[in-house]
Amino acid sequence: MDTDQEKKELRLVMKQKKSELSAAERQRQSNRIFAKIEALPVFQDARVVMAYWALPDEVATQEFIEKYATHKTILLPVLYGETLQLKVFQGKDNMEAEARFGIPEPAGKIYTGQVDLVIIPGVAFDKNQRRLGRGKGFYDRFLEEISCFKIGVGFDFQLLETLPVASYDIPMDLVITG
């Protein structure tokens, strides 16, 4: 089986497992993940943090984003064609739904400054800090362009021994699960 087919099948397995996770367990693991992140010196020292506005099946970020938006510059990805750009989170009232996937994105200008830390979702991760995304390559293309500490976040069952990887897959510096 080729790498692309392995990835496709693994995405289906993870989608099923995520659908079986209760909302309470999803929130419990999300809270544990962000407590671990908050304890890290790399997070405490970071002034500019890129996160993501979570989809219902991802590690929940909304409380974390709102908690730190007044203490740090919190950036969220915005999709322009096939490219991720960054915008500063300025409250839920300044969010608008992105056309293709319906993910809320900040309104305002594109951020072009330094990023200290990125927190990235994944479909699965492995013990070598590799990440399997949803298959569009948005994050991998974005991560090629920046240099900062990368934390992948997922639920306990999303951490596997190994993943099928391709040369363009960008590894994380740290993976944290619930």
- The full set of domain ranges for the chain reads 3-177
Bridge-partner residues for 125, per DSSP?
131, 159
**What average pLDDT is seen over the chain?**
93
What span, in angstroms and rounded, lies between the C-alpha atoms of 140 and 171? Answer: 9
Phi, psi angle pair for 83, to nearest 5°: -120, 140
What integer is the mean pLDDT of 94-100? 77
Which has the closest alpha carbon to 14: 130, 170, 155?
A: 155
| Predicted local confidence at residue 100, as pLDDT | 67
d(C-alpha 31, C-alpha 76), whole Å: 19
Q: State the pLDDT confidence band at 127, using cuts at 50, 70 and 90.
A: very high
* Average pLDDT, integer, range 133-139: 86
Cα–Cα dist 17/156, whole Å: 11
Q: For the chain, what percent of residues have pLDDT higher than 70?
A: 98
Q: What does residue 149 show for φ and ψ, rounded to 5 degrees?
A: -75, 135
Write out pLDDT tens, residues 40-68.
Answer: 999 999 999 999 999 899 999 999 999 99
CATH of domain 3-177: 3.40.50.10420
Measure the CA dihedral 11/3/172/142, to 10°: -90
- 73-89 pLDDT, tens digit per residue, is 999 999 888 889 999 99
Burial class of residue 141 (count of CB atoms within 10 Å of its CB; 0-12, 13-18, 19+): middle
Enumerate the β-bridge partners of residue 97: 104
Which tens digits make up the pLDDT trace of 20-40?
Answer: 999 999 999 999 999 999 999
